[in-house]
Each structure stands twice: as structure tokens, then as C-alpha cells.
Structure 1
Amino acid sequence: MQPVDYTTLTAACSELRATWVPGRAEQVYQRDRYTIAIALRTLNGRGWLTICWHPQAARICIGDPPPRVPDTFTFSDQLRHQLGGFALIAIETIAPWERVLDLQFAKRPGEPPTWHLYVEIIGKYSNLILTDADNLIVTTAHQVSNQQSSVRTIQTGQPYELPPALTGTSPSLIEPYQSWQERVSLIPGAVANQLLKSYRGLSPTLARSMVQAAGLDPKQSTETLEESDWQNLFQRWQQWLQTLLNASKFSTANPQPSNLQPSNLQPSNLQPSNLQPSNLQPANLGQKATLREQPANLQPANLKPANLKPANLFQPGWTNQGYTVMDWGIVKPAKNIQTLLNSYYTNQFNQHEFSRLHNQLTQKLNNNLRKLRQKASSFN
């Protein structure tokens, strides 16, 4: 199963900030041991924010509505009690190149956050932690005691500590080509592996697709690369970093069309003075053109979600090995990153569940057949 890497997480959060922040949390539902869904209400509609801390499939995206069955998990009950009615006002990363998000909730947009929901998408150590405004842990999906870890404990009531920082060189757009090429080729080896070893922030899937997009074999040794090969690979490297930078700028700006601002939806426009009978005189009713006119800021064209979508950032799609958010190796484009992630991991979990049930039934059937054969042999 393809894990969510830093690039995919950045792409998903870029879309979420543009279309679902701010949004009011109306409900919290826990699907299973590793997945919750938060119902968000915005000016454009309602959706379910899926947050998963599964060791192989940790992710955050807009997903399907939960089933209509009772939620019996205590963790979601605690989240529902604390976050219900609060507004999701920000989705922040705690540090560059780290896959840890800070979902901030406040009573209303513009106010300081009352709750912090930390989403840690870090493989088998993935977790979901709720803290108050003072960063004291209120509840967590998985508690870690000092017997389980000597590096970092996660217990209710204690201050929240960030995961240990990753080591390694951070990629940079301003790094010269010569320095980059020398770093990657310092130790001979497969070019995709050397990219992973030389810099942080990459995943095996991203490194492989980047090398293939440059027309190279991921297993090809760095010693066999020509100057033109290095140039092509560096162009893909720069494309990746530029895409991340563009997404960061868009997320920081987080543009909201002026016609969707709450100031345009204030009840002041509905004061009784505007509803006086004088406005309903026959003279006014005879002016058909006046009655047909609508404020420009309420035209349907201005309310389309397309106005909130970043242009030329990420290009999600399906590949032969899984999915990508870069324009590399796409065999079928996806509508957006949210539907891509939701479809991929839903299908993967369904296949995993089918295999698990198939193995259970096969084992039970074999046990029953073995017992029947033993009974049959006893009659002889």
C-alpha cells in the first residue's frame, strides 16, 4: 500500500485550506480503530473530513459519509464533546518537511484557537492528539508510556511534545546545480536511492517517479549518468520544489472571494426598514427590469468552487503502481486530490478486508473438513 508522503500531504492540505477552511465541526464519527470523520459545514456545503492514523494508510482527506450505525468508540465521543460547534480555522504544518499537522479550532473565525488537533502521519507511529489552548493533552488515539518509548511519551494531562525532528539535508530551490549533483553522486549507487539518502522530504514512490520522468531507470547507477541525464533530473527536481513552493504560497494567502465573506451575509440587509410596504407599491412592481436584477455578488458564477481552486499546482492521477500528485506517469487523471486519496485507500482497505475474511473462512472450512474426515475415519 502506497503511504502518504510529504508531497501528497502538502497537496491534500492545499485543497483543504482552499475549500474547507473555515468550516464548522458539526459531528464526529469514528469508523474503526484508526479512522474518524468530522462533518464540516462551510458556506459552500457540507463534507466529511477523514483522518486516519493507520500504520500503513495514515492520511487526511475529504471522504464518504459514515454508515448509519451507532458509534461506540470513546475517543470519538471525547472529540465530539470538545470540538462540536467549533470552527476549523487553520491547518498548519508544525515545521518544514514534517508530516505533522495542527488543526486549529476556535469558537468562530478570527478568534484564537481553543483546541489543537495534531495529526501525525508518520508511518507506524501515526497518531491523533487533541490538546487545549495551553497544549496540554486532553485525549489521544494512542497513548505511549515511558515503558513503551524512552524518546517520547504521549499521556493525557501532560504537555504535547513534537515528534523527534528528522535528520538530513533539506531540499532547496536556491541550491545550485553543481552542489546538488555533487551531493547525489558523492557515493555511487542507484540514482533513486541516492536521492532518498541525500535529502529529506522524499519517499521511495516520489523518487522513483521523478527519475522515471527524467527518462532514467531508478536502479541505474549514478556513475553511468551523462551530463544530459543529470540536467534532466535536476529539472524534475526543480519542478517538484517549485510546485511545493507554489502550494505553500497559495495556502498562506488562502484567498476567499469577497462575495463569500460573512460581511456580505449580515442580517443588516434584512432589516424591517428594507421590507416596508412602500417598497411594494404598484409603481415599483411595474419595473420588471428592476425586479429581475440581482446583486452582482450573488450571481451563481461567483459562487462556484472553481474560484477557490489553486491553478497549476498539483496534478493528481492514477499510475500503474498507485497514484501521484505530480504530472509524472499518469495513466488516468483524477478529479481532485481528495477523491483520489479517498478512492485509493477505500479500495485498498476493501481488498485487505476481503483477503482477511477469505483467509478466516478458508481456515474455518479446513478445520471443519478435518474434523469431518476424522469422524468418517472412526466409522471404518
Structure 2
Amino acid sequence: MALDGIVIAALVQELRRTLLGGHIQKIAMPENNELLLTIKNNASQHRLLISCEAALPLLYLQRENKPSPLTAPGFAMLLRKHIGSGKITAIEQLGLERIVRIETTQFNELGDIAPRALYVELMGKYSNIIFTDESNVILDSMRRVPASVSSLREVLPGRPYFVPEKLQKTNPLSLTEETFAAALAAESGLPLDRALSAAFSGISSLAAQDILYRTSIDPRAGFSDLRPEETVRLFATFESVIEKVRNGQFSPVMYVRDELPVEFAALPLAMLEAEGLSLRAYDSMSELLYSYYSLRAKSARMRQKSADLRRLVQNHLERSQRKRILQEKQLADSQKKEKYRVYGDLLNTYAFQVPPGADSFVAENFYDDNKPLRIPLDKNLTPAENAKKYFDRYAKLKRTELAVDQELEKTVQEEAHLSSVLTALELATEESDLAEIREELAAFQYVKRQRSPKGKRPQKIQSHPLHFRSSDGFDIYVGKNNFQNEELTFKVASGSDWWFHAKGMPGSHVIVKANGQELPDRCFEEAAALAAYYSKGRDQDKVEIDYLQRRNVKKVNGAPPGFVIYHSNWSMMAKPRAEI
């Protein structure tokens, strides 16, 4: 979700409370299109991150500093000259637009107070940071926009700053029922969810959908389809949301599915709560945004770092699948061997009845109640030579069956191993997890083992299984890869501990430390839910889980790590859940 006007309003309230009256101590540009202001206020230091990156415009307070380039860009140098020690005198939002104005004052070379302003525009691909003087004339901007790029507005030094009329929508902070209806009527050609966001500034598509959900109105309907009482109800719901914005009654929330952030908002969204997403409340909008983008960035970073390994494993898996299909076909062909043995036996028995030069012979098949069986013949061979040819073919197919059967078993095991590694890559949360998976692939010669620099010992991999505590106080451990699964099952778990695994699919070994006690039903359900989530079936509604005591789980000789067999187990259906 992009930052909408309501989120910006919550941020402005927080920035006023935290930064108003503070002095700018440091100005840096850690990244292209990114500005980091260090501000001291009330004996505390704050860092304001502003990004006008088209894909990810941002504005929030963060604790961590970021390294800056050795040579500061020109825009940073200009800001240092004009507001390097300036005092923040005003922070305001333009209506409910996604535009924040930060005003500063500083003494110029003549000793006069020189007001300056930073306009932070957080509007997707049009995002920008624009620096103006006291007359609202642009001194410079993070991204210069000439007339050849935009016909709405030039953003160049010396041009006046203004918001183009085409970007301005109806301000929802000052609405009556009549103006509300008129604004929606102007967008009557659109579905209501799109009409609300198109007609009013600061209302995102998600916020519009939530308002309609609360009003029990179909978002696909048009404004002209509404009955008068529905229009009144829609305005009342809309006005109740805007009233909270006017009064600054924000409740920053993030919605999470399976430990991954899905959406965030400055006000709770009933629509997402109804979908069953987990809710995390935050004290400030900055904390929420920092947490949201950190989690998203971490997930994206892990997928990027594991991309090469996933591609390699996927290629090996596809090769293994093709090999299995070919071997299964060879094995099916070898099942014809008995037919050739019967042909040979019958020819040897009835050789005296076969006419010379015949290309076939019908014999009574004493293996099948003397039913007649036609045997193809090579007319250039004697009956004995034809019989020998069939026996040779039988022997060859028998050898093929034995060899292919053994190779097929290895191929099926390899396919299962590679599938389990792919699942482990999906479960990896730390770089150490990827290092352990790479070590496993190297052990099976799928990749070359990385050599340590000469004279240095190989660095020991520190990766640990996930640890949970059940509602009844029992420790639950979840392996994230085959090495961890092996260690949990055969080193950490004792014989009386309970072992859980998704049935018939790659997944984590889940161990519940029983400590000699009997587990309550709730603990079984929680462990099964974790086993379902940390498996290949994590996206299914329900997953069948096998569970039994660890003493009944056996290691498969010669199999990859984490591969086990068991027989005396119970099963239950569980809904995948990433946390207890």
C-alpha cells in the first residue's frame, strides 16, 4: 500500500510533536532520491528519512544512521548552505494531499531571517522533494522536471512552486453531504471504490474499499445505483473516518499474514480484519513504517539472495523428473519380458510342428489353459534360433528391469531430496540458513564447496531451528532445512518427545519436548499447525499431519539428511499457522 493522505496526516501529527522547534544538524543523501535530516530537539536527536523514489516514496523517523557518499550531491550541498542549522518552524499537510511542507528559518549572510520550505511530494512516480525560498520560488529539487517531461508543471530553479489543478481533488476535511454527493456524481462512470479515491484527496483504493465494506455497499456499484438512504449512510461512514483524521485520533496498524506484512494503515481496516489477517498495533506511524518496510525488505532480500540456489535446485529437480519419467517408461517396457520367455518355451516344445519358412506359428499355451497363442517368427531362422532370440530378449529385459529398478529408486530419492531443499529455501529467514543449505548441496555435489582464503579456517555456520513456546508451556522446535531436521530428530529429541511432519510432502520436522509429561490436546493442535505451515502445503487451507513419539521414527540408511521412515503414527488435519 502506498502512503495515502490519512497516513500522511498521522505522520505530520507525529513530526509536529517530535520535530517542531528543533534545529537541523546534519543533511545527507545516503542514496539517490533519498534525504536524511538529523534534527536536535528537546535534548534529543531525531533522524527524518525522506525518499522520493518512484517505486517506494517514504517519510518517517528512524533511529539508525545511514552511511553517506564521500562526495555530497549538489542538492545536499545547497540544503546545507541554506538550512544547515535552520530551525523547523512549521510542518503542515496541504489539505489531505500527499504533500508535506516543512518550513525552516535561518539567518542569511546579511543577518536577516530567511524562511525556506521543503515540499515533500509522495505521489508515486511523481514523487519529489522541492526546495523553495520565502516567495515560494523553487531554488532546486531532488528531481528536475522540464516542460518536455511534464506539461502540467515545470520543476526547475526559478520557477514558482504550485500544485497543478489536475492533481487537486476535493478536500474531504471540509465536506457537506451536498458537496460529497456532487463530487461522487462527477465520477459516476467509475465503480464506487474507484470513484471515492478519484474524487477525494488522500483516500486510497484500500481506504475506499474499507469505507464501503463498513457501509455494506457493493464496491462495484456506481454512484447512480445508490438509493437515497444508501447515499446518506455512505456519507455518515465517510464522515466518521474523516472526523478521526480532523481530531488526530490515529491508531497505526499493520496487517500480517504468515509473518509477512500485507498492508498498513493509520486507522484500523475492518475489511482486512474480517479476512482473518493478524493485526499489529504501533505507537507511532514511523515505527510502523520502519517495521513494515524492514520486514518487506528482509523478505525481498532473502528471495534475491536465494534466487541462484533456487534456480540451480529447480534445474536439477526438472532434470531428475525427466530422468524418472524415462526410467519409468523403460521399466514398463521391461514388463514384456515374460511374454518373450513364454515364446521361447513354446517354440522349444513345439519346434517339430513349425513349418519351414513360416513367419508365425500358433501354439497351445500351456501357461494359460492351453489357449492358442500366435508367435511372430523370423522366417530366415530355424525354430531353435527363433527361441534363442526370444530368450536373449527376455534376459536383456530382465537385466534392464533390475538395473532400472535400482536407478529409479535413486532418482525418486533424489527428486524427494531436491524438493525438500526447495522447501527449505522458502523457509530460510537468515543468511546462515542459506549457507547451511549451500553446504548440504555441496555435500551432494550439486554445487562446488566454497574454499576459505589460504591460511584461514572455514567459518563455522551458525544456523538454528525455530523455537516456539506452546500455550501450555511446552517447547516446540521447527527445523528449517534437512540438516536441522536431522539434528532435531536424532540429537535434540528424546524417545518420549513427540514428532510432527506434513504427510506425503517436503516439510520441517517439528519436535515437542514432552519432558515426561502427557501433552494436552491444544499442544498437539499448535504443533500440527506449525508443521503444516513449515511445509510445501503452507498455502493450502488444511494439511494432513502425521505425529508419533520420536522413538518410532527411524533413519533411512544411505538417505540424505532428514529422511526418515515410520509406521505406527496418528494423523490429524491442521490449518497452517506461522505462530502460536
TM range (shorter): 0.5 to 0.7
Aligned to 2:89: 89
> Contact 2:3/2:98 (CA < 8 Å) preserved in 1?
no
Which SS does the other structure have where 2:85 is aligned?
coil
| TM superposition shift of 1:97 | 3.5
Which SS does the other structure have where 2:163 is aligned?
coil
**Identity, % of aligned pairs?**
20
- d(CA) in 2 for partners of 1:341 and 1:113? 33
- d(CA) in 2 for partners of 1:159 and 1:167? 19
Which SS does the other structure have where 1:96 is aligned?
coil
- d(CA) in 2 for partners of 1:135 and 1:170? 22
Match of 1:315 among 234, 240, 251: 251
Amino acid at match of 2:192: V
Aligned CA-pair RMSD: 3.4
> Contact 1:30/1:71 (CA < 8 Å) preserved in 2?
no
| TM superposition shift of 1:3 | 0.9
Is 1:204 the counterpart of 2:140? The answer is: no
Q: What 5-or-longer segments of structure 1 have no aligned partner? A: 248-312, 367-380
Q: Structure 1 133/174 Cα, relative in aligned 2: closer, same or farther at 3 Å?
A: closer
- d(CA) in 2 for partners of 1:332 and 1:82? 41
**Larger RCO (CA within 8 A; separation ≥ 6):** 1
- d(CA) in 2 for partners of 1:78 and 1:155? 14
- d(CA) in 1 for partners of 2:313 and 2:80? 42
- d(CA) in 1 for partners of 2:153 and 2:88? 28
Is 1:348 the counterpart of 2:296? The answer is: yes
Amino acid at match of 1:60: L
Deviations 1:97-118 (A, max 9, x none): 332222111138xx95532212
Amino acid at match of 1:348: R
Aligned to 2:497: none
Which SS does the other structure have where 2:100 is aligned?
strand
- d(CA) in 2 for partners of 1:8 and 1:35? 20
Q: Structure 1 185/324 Cα, relative in aligned 2: closer, same or farther at 3 Å?
A: same
| TM superposition shift of 1:224 | 7.2
Greater gyration radius: 2
Count of equivalent residues: 296
Aligned to 2:98: 99
Aligned to 1:116: 117
> Contact 1:83/1:105 (CA < 8 Å) preserved in 2?
yes
Amino acid at match of 2:50: I
- d(CA) in 1 for partners of 2:82 and 2:288? 30
Match of 2:284 among 333, 336, 342: 336
Aligned to 1:12: 11
| TM superposition shift of 1:195 | 2.1
Amino acid at match of 2:288: L
Amino acid at match of 1:335: D
| TM superposition shift of 1:208 | 1.5
Deviations 1:278-305 (A, max 9, x none): xxxxxxxxxxxxxxxxxxxxxxxxxxxx
Deviations 1:46-80 (A, max 9, x none): 11011111113213211232234645441333323
Which SS does the other structure have where 1:242 is aligned?
helix
What TM-score does the superposition give when structure 1 sets the normalisation length? 0.66
| TM superposition shift of 1:218 | 3.4
Aligned to 2:176: 175
Match of 1:324 among 237, 243, 265: 265
> Contact 2:12/2:100 (CA < 8 Å) preserved in 1?
no
Which SS does the other structure have where 2:269 is aligned?
coil
Q: What 5-or-longer segments of structure 2 have no aligned partner? A: 257-261, 274-278, 315-580
Amino acid at match of 1:341: L
- d(CA) in 2 for partners of 1:46 and 1:356? 34
Q: Structure 1 361/145 Cα, relative in aligned 2: closer, same or farther at 3 Å?
A: farther
| TM superposition shift of 1:210 | 1.8
1:265-276 correspondence runs (5 A):
none
- d(CA) in 2 for partners of 1:99 and 1:112? 29
> Contact 2:92/2:100 (CA < 8 Å) preserved in 1?
yes
Aligned to 2:162: 162
- d(CA) in 2 for partners of 1:343 and 1:73? 28
Aligned to 2:31: 32
Q: Structure 1 355/161 Cα, relative in aligned 2: closer, same or farther at 3 Å?
A: farther
Q: Structure 1 41/179 Cα, relative in aligned 2: closer, same or farther at 3 Å?
A: closer
Amino acid at match of 1:104: E
- d(CA) in 2 for partners of 1:216 and 1:112? 54
What TM-score does the superposition give when structure 2 sets the normalisation length? 0.45
- d(CA) in 1 for partners of 2:312 and 2:255? 37
